Amino acid sequence: MTEDPKPSDDQTEPTEQTEQTEPTEQAETEPVEKQMIDRPSDFRFHAAYMVYSDAWDRTQSSDDKLKLNEAITMLSEDKIDCETFYREISQYRGHTGPDQFSGGRAFIETQRKRDWRRREQRDERNKRHGR
């Protein structure tokens, strides 16, 4: 009345698990290819593709590259607009800080010519009289 456990069932389960993990390992080892769908005649898409290309070259992760491919493909198929594309790709871009547009120039304070002359005359007068 007692049933013996089937040894063949226990043996088939581990082999099924190894078969399931093998395709995912192969997918991870395959290199992700860069999308070549640039349209130079469409300025907005061409600019977006240049940003995509730059972000692609900077990233090392396969997952990030897949997300970049997905974003540019969706943009090329008009499933998303440019604003959404840039929002999705922003985390993979190199320069996203507030100093991105500063250009590295220092702030120059200006003044009127009359104010400059008065200050210069005062400084010269003080220098002459030893102040």
Q: pLDDT digit of tens for each residue in the chain (131 aa)?
A: 555 555 554 444 444 444 444 444 444 557 788 888 888 888 899 999 999 999 999 888 889 999 999 999 999 998 999 899 999 998 888 764 555 555 667 777 788 999 999 999 999 999 999 87
d(CA 74, CA 61): 20
Q: Is residue 88 part of a domain?
A: yes
Q: Is residue 68 part of a domain?
A: yes
Q: Based on the structure, what is the number of domains in the chain?
A: 1
Q: Is residue 50 part of a domain?
A: yes
Q: How far is CA 11 from CA 3, 78, 87, in A?
A: 18, 50, 49
Q: Is residue 106 part of a domain?
A: no
d(CA 32, CA 60): 11
Which residue range is the domain that position 43 belongs to?
A: 30-95
d(CA 119, CA 40): 57
